[in-house]
Amino acid sequence: MFDLPGSWVWDYWFADDGEQYHLFFLYASRALHDPDARHHRASIGHAVSTDLRTWTQVEDALVRSDAPAFDDLATWTGSVVRRDDGEWVMFYTGASLDSSGKNVQSIGMATSPDLMRWTKRPGPILRAAPPRYETIESDAWQDEAFRDPWVLRDPGGDGWHMLITARAPEGEVFGRGVVGHATSPDLDAWTLREPLSSPSADGFGQLEVLQVEVVDGRPVLLFSCLADHATAARGGDRGGTWAVNIDSLTGPYDISGAYPLTDERLYVGRLLRRREDGRWMLFAFRNADETGAFVGGVTDPMPVEWRGDRLVVAETAEAPEPAAS
pLDDT in tens, 164-188: 999 999 999 999 999 999 999 999 9
Q: Are strands 103-112 and 143-144 parallel, antiparallel or unpaired?
A: parallel
- Residue 288's contacts (CB-CB under 8 Å, 6 or more residues apart) are 264, 265, 294, 295, 322
Closest listed residue to residue 39, CA positions, set 83, 122, 112, 97: 97
Residue 249 contacts residue 222 (beta carbons within 8 Å): no
Which pLDDT value is given to residue 217? Answer: 97
What are the strands, taking DSSP E only, across 123-229? 143-144, 146-153, 160-167, 177-184, 191-193, 208-215, 218-224
Query: Would you give the DSSP letter of residue 265?
Result: T
Q: How far apart are CA 137 and CA 20, in angstroms?
A: 44
Length of the chain: 325
pLDDT tens string 79-119: 999 999 999 999 999 999 999 999 999 999 999 999 999 99
At residue 126, does pLDDT exceed 70?
A: yes
Q: How far apart are CA 103 and CA 76, in angstroms?
A: 12
Residue 223 contacts residue 283 (beta carbons within 8 Å): no
At residue 320, does pLDDT exceed 80?
A: no
Q: What's the CATH code, domain 7-313?
A: 2.115.10.20
Asked whether the CA dihedral 82, 119, 284, 168 is positive or negative, the reply is negative
Q: What is the pTM of this model?
A: 0.95
Percent of the chain predicted with pLDDT > 90: 94
Which pLDDT value is given to residue 287? Answer: 97
Which residue ranges make up each domain of the chain? 7-313
In degrees to the nearest 10, what's the CA dihedral of 141, 147, 148, 150? Answer: 120
Q: Average pLDDT of 244-259?
A: 97
| Count of beta carbons in the 10 Å neighbourhood of residue 281 | 19
pLDDT tens string 43-58: 999 999 999 999 999 9
Instruction: Tell me the pLDDT band of 157, cut-offs 50, 70 and 90.
Output: confident
Instruction: Tell me the pLDDT band of 215, cut-offs 50, 70 and 90.
Output: very high
Which pLDDT value is given to residue 123? Answer: 87
Q: Give DSSP secondary structure letters for 80-122.
A: EEE-TTS-EEEEEEEEEE-TTS-EEEEEEEEEESSSSS-EEPS
At residue 236, does pLDDT exceed 90?
A: no
At residue 319, does pLDDT exceed 50?
A: no
Which pLDDT value is given to residue 316? Answer: 52
